[in-house]
Amino acid sequence: MTQVTMSLPTTSISMPRQLPEPLVELRRMLTRSRRFSLGFVVCNVVREEQSLMDQLVATLPAGHQVTTIRSPLDTHELIHEIFAAGEGLRGGDVLFVTRINELVPTADPYPALLQVLNQIRDRFLRIQAAVVFWVPDFVLNRIAQQAPDFWAWRSGVYKIEFEQAEVRDLVDQELFSTGRFCDLQNLKTSEREELYGVLRRLWDERATDSPLIDGQARDLASRLAQIAYLSGRFDEC
């Protein structure tokens, strides 16, 4: 179900040290924008998305209304929610749109959402506020390739980089520490894509300068092949 929340952030005198530099740049764009602008935040660790969003919102000056839409599982419902929310926004306000990866499944060669975004891009000019999509890498790439007219509106792309240590900690918590892997078939598309990204990065790291022990390497290779298959990446299996 779509969730729309409204808030008025408090004034912040100084920028928190933990706010990543890409979000500092996004904050600069948001505080200056007084009409429609389109931004993309690339966050490949979905579980960190809300925390990063909260940190960013807390640094916006008072008076900037922030609306957040979490994507439903229907393209037309999402588009309706975006424009309905946009009607009440004005210059300086912000509309965050999250979790659209559920509407861009890997197995679908041309998702309906990308077609619609490309066809109705001019309607976004009616929104007199900044619209920011929070997406993983694979969704950003598909928007650029399959919704080029919509992509051309972008004012900026802000990619959050995670340290290898953070990625390794995430893998330890989710996979190795429990002694068994979660049931991949029961994961949502967004969760599969997140886990695939984490496992892929860990495998690439292992191939260079930080090898895993043999048992972990076998488990990692097995799970990476399984999740690649479930995500439609048959050539990687």
What share of the chain in percent tops pLDDT 90? 40
Average pLDDT, the chain: 78
Same-domain pairing of 222 and 105: no
Highest-confidence range of 112-121, 172-181, 195-204, by mean pLDDT? 112-121
DSSP of 21-53, one letter per residue? Answer: HHHHHHHHHHHH--S-EEEEEE-S-GGGHHHHH
Span 140-184, pLDDT tens digits: 999 999 999 999 999 999 999 876 555 555 554 544 433 344 556
The strand order across the sheet containing 94-98 reads: 4-7, 66-70, 94-98, 130-135, 37-42, 154-159
Which of these three, 159, 177, 196, is where a domain ends?
Answer: 159
CB 128 within 8 A of CB 94: no
Task: Return the pLDDT at 68.
Answer: 94
Question: Distance between CA atoms of 40 and 208, rounded to whole angstroms?
Answer: 30
Same-domain pairing of 126 and 15: yes
CB 205 within 8 A of CB 166: no
Question: Distance between CA atoms of 9 and 22, rounded to whole angstroms?
Answer: 19
Same-domain pairing of 25 and 140: yes
237: in domain: no
Count of domains for the chain: 2
Long-range contacts of 142-148, Cβ-Cβ distance < 8 Å, separation of 24 or more? 142/104, 142/111, 142/114, 143/40, 143/114, 143/117, 146/110, 146/111, 146/114, 146/115, 146/118, 147/114, 147/115, 147/117, 147/118, 147/121, 148/118
CB 195 within 8 A of CB 187: yes
Same-domain pairing of 108 and 170: no
Same-domain pairing of 153 and 119: yes
Say whether pLDDT at 191 is over 90.
Answer: no
Question: Distance between CA atoms of 25 and 237, rounded to whole angstroms?
Answer: 38
Q: Based on the number of CB atoms within 10 Å of its own CB, is 109 exposed (0-12), middle (13-18) or buried (19 or more)?
A: exposed
Span 12-45, pLDDT tens digits: 333 444 789 999 999 999 988 888 999 999 988 7
Give, in degrees to the nearest 5, the angle at Cα 189 between 216 and 55: 85
Span 59-74, pLDDT tens digits: 988 878 899 999 877 9
Q: What is the CATH number of the domain that holds 110?
A: 3.40.50.300
55: in domain: yes
Q: Which domain holds residue 186?
A: 164-232
Question: Distance between CA atoms of 76 and 217, rounded to whole angstroms?
Answer: 43
Same-domain pairing of 153 and 171: no
How far is CA 140 from each of CA 12, 28, 61, 137, 192, rounded to the nearest angstrom? 30, 21, 28, 5, 17
How far is CA 64 from each of CA 5, 10, 55, 60, 154, rounded to the nearest angstrom? 14, 9, 15, 7, 21
What's this model's pTM, rounded to 2 decimal places? 0.68
